[in-house]
Amino acid sequence: MSERMIKTVLICLLNAGFTCLSARAQVAAKTDHSTDPAAENMLVYQRSVGGWPKAVGKVITDQLYNKVLSDAEKSLIRADSMHNDATIDNKATSKELRYLATAYKHTQNPAYLKAVEKGVNYLLNAQYDNGGWAQYHPDHSLYRGQITYNDNAMVNVLNIMQDIAEGKNNFDQLPAAFRPKAENAVKKGISCILKTQVRVNGKLTVWAAQYDEHTLKPAKARAFELASLSAMESVGIAEFLMRIKNPGAEIKDALSAAMAWFERSKITDHDFVFIEDAKQPKGKDRIFIEKPGSVLWARFYDIDTNEPIFVGRDSLPKKTVAEIEQERRIGYAWYGNWASNLLQKKYPAWLKSL
């Protein structure tokens, strides 16, 4: 073989080699994606219906997502994916969707986007025709099927839907087909909010923490969560309504009435503080004290009298937090300054923006 022919063969071999390497690189680019440890665990714990639990046993999911799971553990968890515990309580499902959307932006790992799509579809499917969301889905046993504003459950979902509709906070990465679905979900959700704003003697006030999903009337959930007006949850609802662009008269009226209620229902010159008390279990208690300049709202107000109520596990409303058992006094948010920033800054700024 001549020297010229040898050179020609070598060049062909080299070109073939580069072609092969290029093909391998393209395959690697499609299959070798960066991963996020917490996101990987979220994929494992996602239920078959698309949502996530708030805890497994007595362990909250935040702790589980930071754990290093063996392959055997992952297999066992995935085998339990049919568990009927998917929920929007305690930020479950909404926090995973937000985290995974961010993780996808940073890693471009398609598994994360796929999980977000599945989770959003879960929320869309879970919405009632009247626009509300239950605390759990599809488990609607006991109070789990009630329309739930408690702990901002429904508002967390609506904020995600609004983000999708606006293409914000990394949800612009979803396929375009999700946007009109989210817009419709928001429209239905707002309708539910407006219908559930409590009227007392014909006058709009604020919202209860949970509602009967059929009658849209305020409802009791846990023993210490009676049908009542809820200050904390009403703040979240009001702030969501202020996100809506070009709001109509109904939204404006709903917000004006809510602000008026917050103003007349505030409690001044008092605070709710922890104290050391060796006589009590865990050596502490929580008491209502005078504190000049402080502004608070009670968590719950009686619908008819608008007086603060405090409820223990006996489900009997009391006039003071000191009257309920110590376990409930220290274990629940009975007072808070939830509406302060809303009244002083956010609502005035919103009015100016109209």
Per annotation, catalytic residue among 41, 90, 109, 170: 90
User: Which candidate, 86, 35, 36, places its Cα nearest to that of 61?
Assistant: 86
Distance CA 276, CA 285 (A): 6
Count of C-beta atoms within a 10 Å radius of residue 311 = 24
**According to DSSP H, which parts of the chain are helical?**
3-31, 37-45, 61-65, 71-79, 94-107, 110-126, 153-166, 178-196, 231-241, 249-265, 326-330, 340-341, 347-353
Instruction: Indicate the angle between helix axes 110-126 and 178-196, nearest 10 degrees.
Output: 40
Residue-wise DSSP of 276-317: E-TTSGGGEEEEEEEEEEEEEEESEE-TTT--B-EE-TT--E
Phi-psi region of 315 (alpha: psi -120 to 50; beta: other; left: phi over 0): left
Is residue 156 part of the annotated active site? The answer reads no
* First and final C-alpha spacing in the chain: 86
Per annotation, catalytic residue among 184, 222, 243, 306: 222
Phi, psi of 44, deg, nearest 5 = -65, -40
Strand, coil or helix: what is 224?
coil
Write out the H or E segment, with its range, that includes residue 210: strand 210-211
Beta bridge partners of 200: 203
Structure-derived torsion over alpha carbons of residues 328, 305, 218, 203, reported in degrees to the nearest 10: -140
Is residue 328 part of the annotated active site? The answer reads no
Distance CA 272, CA 252 (A): 32
Distance CA 190, CA 185 (A): 9
The set of catalytic residues is: 90, 222
